[in-house]
Amino acid sequence: MTIVTPYLAAANNGNWHTAARWARFLRPRYDVVVEKAWSGAPCDLLIALHALRSADSIGRFATAHPDRPLVVVLTGTDLYGDLGLGAPGHASLQLATKLIVLNEHGPRRLPPSVRGKAEIILQSARPLSAAPKPARHLAVAVVGHLREAKNPQLVWAMLRQLPADLPLRVRHVGAALDPALGREAARLAASDTRYRWLGGLPRTQTRQIVRKSHLLLHPSHMEGGAQAVIEARTAHTAVLASRVDGNTGLLGDDYPGLFAATDAMAAGAAVARAAREPEYLRRLQTACELRAPMFIPEREQAALLALVDRQLAAAGA
C-alpha cells in the first residue's frame, strides 16, 4: 500500500502529519510506503492526499491499475478552492474509488455526481492531561504557518483594536511561508509586547504551548479539518474559530466561539470576553470537552482500517 502526500516531514504541515499518522495506523495490518509521488512500484491500494497536488500520481495509478482501489483525501484547498470543473483536481474525484473528507460538512461541497463516494474520517490527536493556565493574563495560542489561507492578518488586526490594558498574551506558532506576512509578524512583535511570533516549531513543542494556553484562536479562511482545533480539544484548551466548514464541521454549528473569518472586531470581542468573563471561558471549555471523544486516535484508526479493508475486499485483493 502506498500513501502519496505532496508534503513530507520537512514541511511540518497538516498533509504530512496526516500521512505519517495514517501510515502508523495501517502498519500493524499492512505494508505501507509514504512518498511524495507514486513511484510506479506495485501496490494493492493507493491513498493520495490532495486531489490537485497529487493529481499526476492519481492519474498514473488509475491508468496503470484501473481495477485497484484509489482513495483520495480532500484537503481544505481541494474542497474550498481548487475543485472547479476542468481543474486537474476535479479529474481526481472521478478517478477515485473512494473520497475521504475530514470534517462533517465536507460532503456537501462535492459535486452531486461523486458525493456518494465520500466518507467522513475525523482526524485525531493523542489526549494530553490538563495543564495549569496563567492566572494573571489570558494566554492565547495561534497555530498555523503564515500564509493567506490561515488568515494571520485577522490576529494582527484584532490586537491593534483591543485595549492595551487587556490582560492578554498571544503566542503565534508558524513558519513564514509568505515572506511578506513574516515581515508583518516581526513588526508587530517588535511593537506590541502582548504578541510573540515563535516561527515554526516541532509539533510536540507546539502542543505544549496550546496545552498551557486558555484559548486557541484559529481564524482560517479555509480548512479541510483543522488539526490545530483537534489538538486543542484533546489538550483541555478552549477554541475560538472562524465560521468555516473545516472548523464548524469539527466544533459544531452551534459552538459558542465562532466568528466570521473577515471580522476582526468580532474575534476581538470574543477574546476580550474570555479575558473578562470566566463563565464564558468555562462555557467554551465545556463545549470542547463534550466533543473531545470524537477525536481520539483509536477511533480514527478504526475508521481508516475499516475503509481500507472494505476497499480491498471489494477489489478482491
Domain boundaries along the sequence of the chain: 2-124+296-314, 138-295
CA angle 279, 264, 273 (to 5 degrees): 15
- What are 286's three cell numbers? 465545556
Q: What is the CATH number of domain 2-124+296-314?
A: 3.40.50
Instruction: Report the alpha-carbon distance of residue 200 to residue 177 in Å, rounded.
Output: 10
- What are 126's three cell numbers? 493523542
138-295 adopts what CATH topology? Rossmann fold (3.40.50)
Q: Do domains 2-124+296-314 and 138-295 have the same CATH topology?
A: yes
Q: Write out pLDDT tens, residues 173-217.
A: 999 999 999 999 999 999 999 999 999 999 999 999 999 999 999
Q: Is the pTM of this model over 0.85?
A: yes
Which regions in the chain score pLDDT beneath 70?
11, 82-87, 317
Q: Write out pLDDT tens, residues 59-68.
A: 999 999 999 9
Within 10 A of 122 (CB to CB), how many other CB atoms are there?
19
Output the pLDDT for position 48: 97
The residues with which 99 forms a beta bridge, in sequence order, are 72, 118
Q: Cell match 492566572: residue?
A: 135
